[in-house]
Amino acid sequence: MKNNIITALDIGSTMVRSVIAKTLANGRLEIMGIGECPSEGIERGIVKDIQALSNQVRISLEQAETAADTDAVNIYANITGEHIRTQLGDGRIAIPTEIPNEPGEISIEHVEQVINDAKNSVKIQKGFERHKILHGIPHDYIIDSQDDIRNPVNMNGFHLTAKVLTVLSELTPLRNLTKCIELSGYEMDQENYVLSHVALSHSVLSEDERRLGAILMDIGGGSCDISIYNRGALEKVLVIPMAGKAITEDLAIGLKTTLASAEYIKTQFGNAIASDVDQTLEIEVEGISGRAGTRRPQYLVSHVIQHRVEEMLAMCYNRSKDSYTPELVTAGIILTGGSAKLEGISNSITNAFNLQVKIAKPDLSKLEGSTSRLDDPAFATAVGILYYAMGFEHEPQARSFNLGDLGNSKFVDKLKKIIKDFT
Ligand SMILES: Nc1ncnc2c1ncn2[C@@H]1O[C@H](COP(=O)(O)OP(=O)(O)OP(=O)(O)O)[C@@H](O)[C@H]1O
Ligand SMILES: [Mg+2]
């Protein structure tokens, strides 16, 4: 890794966030610099104005570089959007053996091969020609007729089958994002993209939550990104194209004010449950382009917010309800993203899903240096990208795979990627 530096770039609909970190000998990361600036020219993962977005990416990365006093190299970036597709499929390989009719020993290479076999069988399917595979996430394995195997390495068998969730991105949005980063003056490796949902799972989801079953929900500015975990495996990925920006726009129209003023009112006085707001309170609302301001009841503001939040959550619920069994989502909903800071939103989600909600900030326990700014649900994706790049979460599994025997560092890098994907 160049200079032991990792740069996480979270290109959101509202903000472009970047974090430069240094890998330390103790296996932790030292935060060197953080950049954050408003986003422009991207909506729900699709580049709409490449020039405008590349300017904002440059500003964000330069801020981080100035603070870090080092270059933003080895960039990892997130990708999301309605163009993301997933396909559950099987990979199958025969395990070679030296003694006829004796089962062979399964190695890490075999695991890599079987996951690749599953990915390749998706890639050749009609409809996926113009897609790039981002991840192959193994759910479980079958050795001959024994199913539900969690880790087949070192076991013996004639055939290994893996059930794999392959995550794909359409090529066009991916290429345009790469072009945008390059236009801002930085290098971007096509292999360094991570699905936002996968990145997030590294920073906000505990192993227990994963195993017990959980719904991870990132409500940002442009979209609600939902991931459903069942028995430790990522089963479903959803992108709902409505989030915080829609609430702000409704407020601007409803209050006849500017977007900036609506944003201020939402973040300072907004509540997703109007009945929780004191009916006697009033707030100042700025007029548009020099027009006189007005005073409006605060509960009216929250009434507008509540209406949009309910619509957004109804969409989230309707799109996800067939993909989980409430009894099996034992850890409930883990909520993150900037809109998780909206007062009352966790109660609204409980009302919509009838599940418990925990608001999650990123886990900073593996970081050193000035981390206080990252202690915010809005930084969960950026921190998750860093952990994804490091493969932190899976160190214990990596050790049980006996990496010491492998020698070949390129292979180990590849393997780390497989293990990272095994979320
Ligand atoms: N205190 C707050 N109360 C309510 N909403 C808030 C608050 N703080 C931030 N937000 C909202 O969070 C949203 C931005 O969240 P975030 O930074 O996670 O989005 P993003 O990552 O840029 O967008 P996306 O992930 O959808 O592409 C904005 O709509 C903003 O208004
Ligand atoms: Mg985001």
Q: How far is the CA of 404 from the centre of ligand 2 (A)?
A: 37
Which ligand ends up closest to the CA of 17? 1
Please give the number of the atom of ligand 1 that sits closest to the Cα of 42.
Answer: 27
- The closest residue, in CA terms, to atom 9 on ligand 1 is 338
The identity of residue 368, as a single letter, is E
Q: 208 by DSSP, 3-state: which?
A: helix
* Pocket test residue of 251, 267, 374 for ligand 1, highest count of atoms within 8 A of CB: 267
Q: 195 by DSSP, 3-state: which?
A: strand
pLDDT of residue 423: 39
Ligand 1 within 6 A of CB of 222: yes
pLDDT of residue 413: 56
| pLDDT tens digits, one per residue of 187-215 | 999 999 999 999 999 999 999 999 999 99
Return the beta strands (E) in 185-299 as ranges.
193-195, 214-219, 224-230, 233-240, 282-285, 294-297
Ligand 1 within 6 A of CB of 384: no
Q: How far is the CA of 80 from the centre of ligand 2 (A)?
A: 9
pLDDT of residue 409: 46
pLDDT of residue 1: 55
Short-list 219, 167, 245, 244, CA closest to 357: 219
Which ligand ends up closest to the CA of 263? 1
Ligand 1 within 6 A of CB of 78: no
Which ligand ends up closest to the CA of 249? 1
| Assigned CATH for 85-170 | 3.30.1490.110
Side-chain-facing half-sphere of 406: CA atoms under 13 Å? 18
Ligand 1 within 6 A of CB of 337: yes
DSSP 8-state class, residue 360: -
DSSP 8-state class, residue 279: T
Q: How far is the CA of 126 from the centre of ligand 2 (A)?
A: 31
Ligand 1 within 6 A of CB of 56: no
Q: Residues 193-216, buried b or exposed e (16+ Cβ, 10 A)?
A: bbbbbbbbbbbbbeeebbebbbbb
Contact 58, 41 (CB under 8 A): no
Token pair of 279 as six digits: 């009916």
Which ligand ends up closest to the CA of 336? 1
Fold of 206-359: Nucleotidyltransferase; domain 5 (3.30.420)
Q: How far is the CA of 220 from the centre of ligand 2 (A)?
A: 5
What are the residues facing 336 on neighbouring strands? 218
Ligand 1 within 6 A of CB of 274: no
Contact 146, 159 (CB under 8 A): no
Ligand 1 within 6 A of CB of 243: yes
C-alpha to C-alpha distance for 116 and 39, rounded to whole angstroms: 36
Question: Positive or negative CA dihedral for 337, 342, 346, 350?
Answer: negative
Ligand 1 within 6 A of CB of 267: yes
**Residue 361 CB partners (closer than 8 Å, separation 6+):** 204, 336, 375, 376, 377, 379, 380
Short-list 164, 44, 66, CA closest to 115: 164
Ligand 1 within 6 A of CB of 217: no
Q: Residues 144-170, buried b or exposed e (16+ Cβ, 10 A)?
A: eeeeebeebbeeebeebbbbbbbbbbb
C-alpha to C-alpha distance for 214 and 246, rounded to whole angstroms: 26
Short-list 50, 57, 22, CA closest to 36: 57
C-alpha to C-alpha distance for 191 and 254, rounded to whole angstroms: 44
Q: How far is the CA of 79 from the centre of ligand 1 (A)?
A: 17
Short-list 237, 215, 192, CA closest to 388: 192
pTM of the model: 0.90
Q: Residues 111-140, buried b or exposed e (16+ Cβ, 10 A)?
A: bbbbbbbbbebbbeeeebeebbbbbbbbbb
What are the residues facing 94 on neighbouring strands? 159
Q: How far is the CA of 359 from the centre of ligand 2 (A)?
A: 15
pLDDT of residue 132: 96
* Pocket test residue of 245, 273, 339 for ligand 1, highest count of atoms within 8 A of CB: 339
Q: 138 by DSSP, 3-state: which?
A: strand
**Residue 199 CB partners (closer than 8 Å, separation 6+):** 10, 78, 381, 384, 385, 387, 388
Q: How far is the CA of 10 from the centre of ligand 2 (A)?
A: 7
Ligand 1 within 6 A of CB of 157: no
Domain ranges of the chain: 85-170, 206-359
- The closest residue, in CA terms, to atom 29 on ligand 1 is 244
Q: Residues 40-65, buried b or exposed e (16+ Cβ, 10 A)?
A: bbbbbbbbeebeebbbbbbbbbbbbb
Weakly modelled stretches of the chain, pLDDT under 70: 1-2, 392-423
Please give the number of the atom of ligand 1 that sits closest to the Cα of 336.
Answer: 18
Q: How far is the CA of 338 from the centre of ligand 2 (A)?
A: 8
Q: How far is the CA of 79 from the centre of ligand 2 (A)?
A: 9
